[in-house]
Amino acid sequence: MVDVNGVRLHIAEEGEGPLVVLLHGFPESWHSWRHQFGPLAEAGFRVVAPDQRGYGRSEHPDDVAAYSILHLVGDVVGLIQALGEEKAYVVGHDWGAPVAWHTALLRPDVVLGVAGLSVPPPFRGTEPPLAAMDAMFGGRFYWNYFNRPGVADAEFAKDTRTTLRKFLYSASGDAPDAGQGKQPLIEPGQGWLVSMPDPEVLPKWLTEDDLDALTDSFAQGFTGALNWYRNLDRNWELTAPWHGAVVSPPALYVYGDLDPVPAFPGTPELIAALPGLMPNLRRAPLRLEGCGHWTQQERPDEVNAALIDFLTELRG
């Protein structure tokens, strides 16, 4: 447990050497990086993965505004300092990717290199994201559903294990409709889970023990995690000073070709343009065939190889 930026964070740690901070996404925990600890430590790095604020054994502030992108970046910067370092490599997946990208954008002086999985680097749009998605999909996009106080919280907490099993399977490369570019929409009067397939057998990359560990990490419910989404428009306002800025530290972007997130409106075009937009992108975006949303869990060997190549090249 580490006191950071006014909250207490639970971390997992392994290895010695330059610090690598691994940031999980939704609905996950530090455990989503279980396949990365050993290989990165063996490659000569000190690997630390926190349960981010609102998740797992870390603190869950009550105030929705306490989950803004500035708070989340502050947690990463504070964690690096609390661990006795001045700089670190920062890697994020799903929601952890925007935190990693924004840490590199806002504090390039502390980021030796940044890697994002699934979610590409941020380029601030011209209008608030919740309002944009509300207009585009009539309020049916899942961001807007998550923004309704208490609604998704109650739906997901009814049966935590089933909720997580459905989430993990439906966004994976093993789902029946994987790669069809289907937008995550919630029909009026329904919850989100009703439309998600529930596998009779878990995919090979996910064990019952993994699911047990993840279920235990949501013992306090989903509200802290959902509060991240409730700050999307606030984040847009807060990042106005960086409108038009680009991530300057050395960068790597990895995504699965069956991941629904890179198919969000405007995202395929952004990914295609990244090599021209990112001055320090060290290679073209790495597209993993047959991989869904849970990049480092579904394709650990390929992700580990890409991360180790990237980090060791920067370490020199």
Q: Which residues are catalytic?
A: 94, 293
Phi, psi of 131 (to 5 degrees): -65, -40
Q: Where would I find the beta strands (DSSP E) of the chain?
A: 2-4, 7-9, 11-14, 19-23, 46-50, 88-93, 111-117, 251-256, 286-288
| Residue in 35, 42, 34, 36 with CA at minimum distance from that of residue 15 | 42
Q: What does the block give as tokens for 30?
A: 């530090």
- The DSSP element (H or E) to which 72 belongs, if any, is helix 69-82
What is d(CA 264, CA 182) in angstroms, rounded to the nearest whole number?
9
111: left (phi over 0), alpha (psi -120 to 50) or beta: beta
Whose structure tokens read 């699911």?
211
251 near 278, Cβ under 8 Å?
Answer: yes
Residue 155: alpha-carbon gap to chain centroid: 22
